[in-house]
A and B are shown apart, each in its own frame.
Chain A
C-alpha cells in the first residue's frame, strides 16, 4: 500500500513524534507507515485522514 503520510505530515509541520501523539500510536508506528513497512488498521487510517483533513484514499492508494 502506497501512502502520503510523510508528505502530509511535513506539509502540516508536524514531527513524527507530534504525529504519533496526535494519532495515539508510537513514533515507530508512524516511521513504519511512512516507509511502507506497515499497513495500518482501517480505524487508524481514518484517524490519519481526519488529522490532515483529507479523505482516506487521498492518503492511501494501492501500489
Chain B
C-alpha cells in the first residue's frame, strides 16, 4: 500500500465527519473508513434531529438565549456532574460555534418539529434530520477531496512506542486484511449497544429482550480494539440510555418511530399485570428516558401501556396498531396477561383516580391517585371509557456510556493516564468523559461535533509531529 494518509478517520457518523472535514481544512490528506455500506452510513447520527448549542440571543431558529452557565447547569442537572468538568465546559463553550460551522458546510435548518417546542430555545433542528445532515457532510467531503471507503471495518490499531502507525481493516470475508498507514487517527466509531454478547456480560440473558434503537453496526469492535491497545476506559460498562419502545419494533435500527409516548396518558403494567412505577412522576420529556431502564428491570423485560378511548389520540400516533378491545377482560388475553389480575389492577387504579375529571398534560397538574401504591402523581384519569388499548413496551437502548478516556486535545489516554501521541477520539466512543448517566437532548451531537472538530484539527497537526 503506497498511499499515505495524514489522517485516518475511523467511523462515518457525525463525529467522524466533523473530524474528517476539520482535518482536511487543516491541510491533511484524509481517509474515512466507514464499516457500513454507503446506504447505511452514519451510525446513530442517522436517528438524530437536533443539536444543543450555547447562544447569546434568539434568532430565526432559537426562540431565546442560552448561556454557557445555563447550558452547563442543565448538563450537571441530568448527569449529576460530568466525569471530566473541563471537557464538559469545553463542549458547552465551543458549541456556540457549531451553527455557523454547520451552515458553512451546507447544513440547512428548520423550526422545531411539532411536539418539540419545549426544546426550541436550547436546541437547533437541522432540516430533514440526521441523515440529511450527514448527506451534506459527505457532499462537502467529496468536494474537498476527502476519500471515503465503505464496508471498511477497522479490526486493529497498530500502535508502536505510544504512536499510531496504521489500522488493519477486515476484508469482505470478515478476515483481518489490509493494513492502512496514516500519520494520525481520529476515531468516531460509536458505542457497543448493538453488541448483544457484550451487553450480556453485564445484563445476562435479559439483553436478549432489549431492542437496539440505532445502527446494528455499533457493535463496539473499534472501542474493543482501542482498549486492547491499552486505552483507558471511562464510564459504567453496564450503563446505557434506554427509552420505552414498542415491543414489536425490529431488533436493530427501528429508530425514532418505535418510541411510545403512551406512559403518562395511562398506566403501565408488567407481565404479571401489576403496576410497578409512578407513570405521572414528572414532565414527560424529563421522564421519557427512565422508562427503558425501568422496563429492563421487570420480569421478561416487558411491560404494557394501557389507555382508554379518552387518551388514545392524545399522544403521537404510534407506528404499530395498539391492541384494542371493548372490555378490559377482552384486552388482557391479547396482551398475554392474566385477565383477573389485570382487571383488578385497573379497577384498583380507577378507584384511586375516580374523583379526577380533568387533567393538564402541559404541566405537572397534581391530579393524582389517592391511596394507591405506587401512586400516579399527575394526570391520573380513570381508564373506563371503551374501547381499551394496550401497547407492549420493551427497553429500547439508545447508546452506551462507557468509552475511552481523552484529554483536552481529544487524545486517547492509556492506562497510566498518558495520551497516545496521535490517537484521537470523538463522539459516543468518548462521551463517557462527560455523560455518566442521564441524557440531555441534543447533547450527543454537541459532543460529537465539538470533539470531532477538535480531534480532526489535532490529528492533522499531530500527523506531522
Q: Do A and B bind each other?
A: no
A-to-B contact residues, CB < 8 Å:
none
Binding site for A on B (CB under 8 A): none
